Structure 1
């Protein structure tokens, strides 16, 4: 018997060891290869790839085509799953691998027309252009990696089939990039609802022109019915949920500034940039140092794009921020009572263009989707079934209506060492709108608001849904690039871009959904100090600044009222802490926790009863609310203060009493009875989420965090989320922080929020996460000596032998 038990025990141990060995072998096959020699077909000469201490590849090739083929290969081995997910999101193919819960997201993205537009654009590409040649080589490198290696673990878990990556995928991803900037889906329905359902008195808080012409007006033949509002509500919600459901980053805002040599310690320009993007695993940027005869760049790249969206070398560099211009209009169409597929356009009934697409659904039957298009653009209300009886709402979008040679633009920007070249490259960016902030070692600094700005008829306010039956919904063309907001070598000696409303010298109107001005005011306050000579060390304090004036600005008119309302001694102490608060959001500070909960309760207490649950939820995700709340706070007579659900007419004081009580009660229920436990870092945390994290317990395996997070809404260190109740899960923030002094750009600094690799268990999967949240920086090696000194391994890619 004992012998039998020993045999069984030995067998059990053997099985466990074998299973462990199999698991170890399986995981090993998924890891990137960063040393040794590999062959790639179509290479004309060997390519060396030196990986530094952060896993950043420093690629040296004998020509540009070899360089980009190698880039595609190494990018794929670190980020193939990210590439797969972003192309599926952009082209409406997520449900094929993630199941029916993503069907509505696929419906939305098919309806946006990105897939069809990318297909048509790819078919018309000039394959002999430099940018097309580079893209072809890069995609070939990706596909060679995919064809010769086991699929990533996520492919196995989800059953994702391998298929080649194409130019259509890259072009579709540029459409996703443009879409992720667009605020129209969230904002225009909400503001139109306020105007049409509530009235001018309520609209006053948003500081919009009540008498704008060309917008959809109540009582007209194209006025929207309840079914239309329901569809737009669904679209607004989906536009916020889509990227989160796929675990992919959305672009939110950014900081960038350039200082001339007279403002720096070195006497040469200094460039700083930190684009604000949703956090994810892996992070959005892939860093790579590219070098070939006549070309060198340290670049930050996105999945499926071979040209860097951020970059620098010894001679020049640039960063980008989101322009936030309104390049998307929602247009309600007037349908023919006798033919639902005809709309009134320029004085006559015209047929809608109709075509069908099939959405594949994992585990279920495919969906046949009928898509319609008016002269104004895709009918977005067709994104959902049962649209019969719904007023068709079209989407006019610059991305679909211009040539938009964005691949050429960034190919040229990667090589733009003069003001003229940088300006010319920026002029080719049509959508999404981007602020390009640029500097070079020759002493120049520049900023160009890069976008095709549509010419709308006079007095048309695109904040509202437009009436498609009138000429005001049409576009009269586009303004010249030279009319866009821009500056070159300004006398003040510096340029700041922070998603604020720009004022072009040309006088051209620039409507948009801009961020609060508090962040740019804070940056300007720091940078205009002539007594400071800036370098890459003291500039860090500006990027990491967690203070702004928004909180004190909202509170100023309310504190006297609250002082009469709050009587409890402990709560009065809390109120006094708010009165003394300077707007700083550090992790141990209690006032930011109190204020941000109060801000949500203020919005909810004043607006939720009028807006209703769905529209209020949509409003929380808009920048319009950020601007409205200080105006509301200062207006004691605003109709928003009255609660429509009670027979009495509430005053500002009445509502603030409810708001304060709700604030304290929620914080006590959520964070504990003792306010000393309400530190900002306890309530405000960052977790880098992976697309598979929605499936428990995979979140514990793939996610990185949580971390107590400093910063807040519209502080320079803009770690934040939408207005909402505590606790706050940080959703977006600086996607990298870069500092480059062109006295010696090889000493530039940067950081990745998580790590360079997207491969689980790889050493660089999350090796920068702790440093990032602590405000640390890492060197971005550029000189040959620094690259050599910090190389940890070398991979050599050689041409395949001729057959």
Structure 2
């Protein structure tokens, strides 16, 4: 027995030692010297207390090559997953369960468009050279260092990163904004099957011109339902970042405490591990930037230095139309276009499947765009549905745009960079130390024929589905140095001085209104401290406005003294979502129950789930409660039901569910008990990897469409947070070295690295950390130094 125990102990110690050595071999090298091919001079990389690299090179090519190398150290698996998602190659490493996602992304033709853009990329252009050096750094890391843990778990073989990979990822980012696949079929179906009266709560003008009415059959609607679900699930289940919304503001020196502009930004993106942004401080003679980078992309999408700073929000413009084509009854591979039958273009692609046979995918394209039914194969329905998308129709020099923006220290340079952003549509909020502030809505906006409402599926056999060109950039919404002294952007519908209408998937206005309410106060002089408080605010007027028309009906529905007290807490509620709030719990459950009682019976379960995944539901609910005559209050079988009766049903369901979920004692209910944030790794969907790779859960303040937009989907308690601030940044251009930020998780994407989740607690607690810029601060906060030497 003694020998057995000794032997067992030796085996366990050996296994533990081997495991520790294995995990240690996967950690980033942040100290010492490493040789790198193609460097012309040594590059110094100093890592600060958060693991952010401060890269100092003697020329631009060396700087970008070093950035590629060190970013790959921390984020190679993220880069790999994102390029595979964008290019429809996940099934090759994850198996047949990812085939639907791959089919969808192949059908979107991101891969084909990126390959074309890569062939057209000028290798001698400044941005082309930067990309080549950066990708060389990534590939040298792959060639010389151990593969990430996830590569070993999944059996991923290393392969070089190419310009087409970078451009494919840009295409995925553009697609993650688009809501057409989820919203346009739903609105068309409501209009066709229920009638125009049911569209009122969505505030969408019904223009019957140039839209299909009854051309789609039941098989087609089922196809569109499946496509909508596939689009939603592909974004959610991949564990990759999905852009959702954002806050941003720029304040001129006339409104700040020190007389210089201040910039604030917190782009709202789906939470994941690792987080979306990779921070890096880049420097060579004549250039310096503290930037936030996307995977496999050399240029910063957010950034600042001593001279200027910028941030982004999502424009939310509608740059994608779904078009029902008219098929030739004698030849289903032809559609009617401009007075005659034309052949659909066809090509085949092969999807490789792990532990399975390759799948051949037939992809078709009409003159309007790719036929998205092909994502469903043989279940694609009878009517070809084409997708017109700005990303596929414009030059879209996104890499050049951000290369220029990384150097845009004047209004003229900022405006010129913004003009080169075609898709996705972005609000670019910018400021410089010279005193200028600006906002440019950057996108190529299509000119649609008069009377066409792109909120609905369009008729491909008419001219209404065609585009008449694009508006010039000068017609886009934009402001430079407005007299009020500040600019705020929060995904609400913008107005263009040119007067053009800009259809889109805009968020409700209350979040922007709350920000504007504070920024408009002439008595406030803004600084880093009160700007933090504004970014962390957890309430808006949305909830009280939705509740106000139905408070008396809620009072009548209360069954006892305890419930009456709960209703009165709602009546007195300001819309705030702190961790200890009870009204926040009641409100969020009640909005779901109201939706379920009124919208779900008419729409059906699948369409109702689709609606909950769109921004339309947020705008619809306040209009619903404000209209006691809305047809949605009646029962699905036509039986009369008043608003008061529906509200009473929703209230009873709310109380019952919360008591069952949170306990009978309502005094112990707290928002943080039911509203939590877990950062999920792409492989953290199953045990035991969830315990090893995920970060959380953590009780989360804020909520859906509050400034501190730790947002959850409308649904039944408990509410997992889905997306929110992907970083919070504050840049004071009086002294940019005092800028503040925070990463939702950590700088590193390497499991078990000390910087994998070292900021998660501070993020949820609303803390900020310095973003070191000055040489003195960088030196004082350096924790390790890596020198990259030219290889002999």
Could you tell me the TM-score, scaled by structure 2's length? 0.99
Shift of 1:211: 2.7
Q: Tell whether 2:486 aligns with 1:494.
A: yes
CA contact (8 A) 2:444 2:473 kept: yes
Match of 1:699 among 681, 690, 700: 690
Aligned positions of 1:14-53 closer than 5 A: 14-53=10-49
Q: Where does residue 557 of structure 2 map in the other structure?
A: 565
Q: Where does residue 644 of structure 2 map in the other structure?
A: 653
CA contact (8 A) 2:304 2:310 kept: yes
Question: 1:579-622 deviations in whole A, cap 9, x for unaligned?
Answer: 00000000101101100000011111111011011111000011
Return the alpha-carbon distance in structure 1 between the equivalents of residues 16 and 617 of structure 2. Answer: 54
Secondary structure of the 2:378 match is coil
Q: Where does residue 509 of structure 1 map in the other structure?
A: 501
Shift of 1:665: 0.8
Shift of 1:388: 6.1
Aligned positions of 1:202-217 closer than 5 A: 202-217=198-213
Return the alpha-carbon distance in structure 2 between the equivalents of residues 738 and 119 of structure 1. Answer: 34
Q: 5+ unaligned residues in a row in structure 2: which ranges? A: none
Match of 1:783 among 766, 769, 774: 774
CA contact (8 A) 1:483 1:504 kept: yes
CA contact (8 A) 1:342 1:349 kept: yes
Secondary structure of the 2:776 match is helix
CA contact (8 A) 2:223 2:381 kept: no
Match of 2:596 among 592, 604, 608: 604
Q: Tell whether 2:418 aligns with 1:426.
A: yes
Shift of 1:361: 1.2
Shift of 1:387: 3.8
Shift of 1:292: 0.5
Return the alpha-carbon distance in structure 1 between the equivalents of residues 509 and 12 of structure 2. Answer: 60
Q: Tell whether 2:253 aligns with 1:261.
A: yes
Match of 1:231 among 219, 223, 238: 223
Return the alpha-carbon distance in structure 1 between the equivalents of residues 95 and 536 of structure 2. Answer: 41
Q: Where does residue 162 of structure 1 map in the other structure?
A: 158
Q: Where does residue 744 of structure 2 map in the other structure?
A: 753
Q: Where does residue 670 of structure 2 map in the other structure?
A: 679
Aligned positions of 1:93-492 closer than 5 A: 93-218=89-214, 223-387=215-379, 389-492=381-484
Q: Where does residue 519 of structure 2 map in the other structure?
A: 527
Distance of aligned partners of 1:572 and 1:73 in 2 relative to their CA distance in 1, 3 Å threshold:
same
CA contact (8 A) 1:34 1:794 kept: yes
Return the alpha-carbon distance in structure 1 between the equivalents of residues 522 and 301 of structure 2. Answer: 31
Shift of 1:204: 1.2
Secondary structure of the 1:452 match is coil
Shift of 1:559: 0.6
Q: 5+ unaligned residues in a row in structure 1: which ranges? A: none
Q: Where does residue 736 of structure 1 map in the other structure?
A: 727
Runs ≥4 residues deviating over 6 A:
none
Q: Where does residue 795 of structure 1 map in the other structure?
A: 786
CA contact (8 A) 2:83 2:166 kept: yes
Return the alpha-carbon distance in structure 2 between the equivalents of residues 389 and 303 of structure 1. Answer: 37
CA contact (8 A) 2:598 2:632 kept: yes
Shift of 1:385: 1.9
CA contact (8 A) 2:351 2:360 kept: yes
Match of 1:81 among 70, 77, 89: 77
Q: Where does residue 644 of structure 1 map in the other structure?
A: 636
Could you tell which deviates more after superposition, 655-664 or 401-410? Answer: 655-664
Secondary structure of the 2:63 match is helix
Shift of 1:7: 3.1
CA contact (8 A) 1:274 1:734 kept: yes
CA contact (8 A) 1:685 1:730 kept: yes
Shift of 1:125: 1.1
Match of 1:90 among 74, 86, 99: 86
Could you tell me the TM-score, scaled by structure 1's length? 0.98
Return the alpha-carbon distance in structure 2 between the equivalents of residues 283 and 7 of structure 1. Answer: 49
Return the alpha-carbon distance in structure 2 between the equivalents of residues 163 and 465 of structure 1. Answer: 41
Shift of 1:229: 1.1
CA contact (8 A) 1:755 1:765 kept: yes
CA contact (8 A) 1:516 1:626 kept: yes
Return the alpha-carbon distance in structure 1 between the equivalents of residues 694 and 595 of structure 2. Answer: 32
CA contact (8 A) 2:373 2:381 kept: no
Return the alpha-carbon distance in structure 2 between the equivalents of residues 197 and 286 of structure 1. Answer: 47
CA contact (8 A) 1:271 1:739 kept: yes
CA contact (8 A) 1:228 1:381 kept: no
Return the alpha-carbon distance in structure 1 between the equivalents of residues 350 and 363 of structure 2. Answer: 11
Secondary structure of the 1:291 match is strand
Question: 1:104-137 deviations in whole A, cap 9, x for unaligned?
Answer: 0001000000011111111111111100100011
Secondary structure of the 2:712 match is coil
Return the alpha-carbon distance in structure 1 between the equivalents of residues 437 and 655 of structure 2. Answer: 49
Shift of 1:563: 1.8
RMSD: 0.9
CA contact (8 A) 1:499 1:514 kept: yes
CA contact (8 A) 2:373 2:380 kept: no
Return the alpha-carbon distance in structure 1 between the equivalents of residues 633 and 355 of structure 2. Answer: 50
Shift of 1:389: 4.7
Secondary structure of the 2:246 match is strand
Q: Where does residue 656 of structure 2 map in the other structure?
A: 665
Return the alpha-carbon distance in structure 2 between the equivalents of residues 799 and 182 of structure 1. Answer: 44
Shift of 1:149: 1.2
Shift of 1:561: 1.7
Q: Where does residue 71 of structure 1 map in the other structure?
A: 67
Question: 1:227-268 deviations in whole A, cap 9, x for unaligned?
Answer: 211121111112111122221110000000000001000100
Shift of 1:11: 2.2
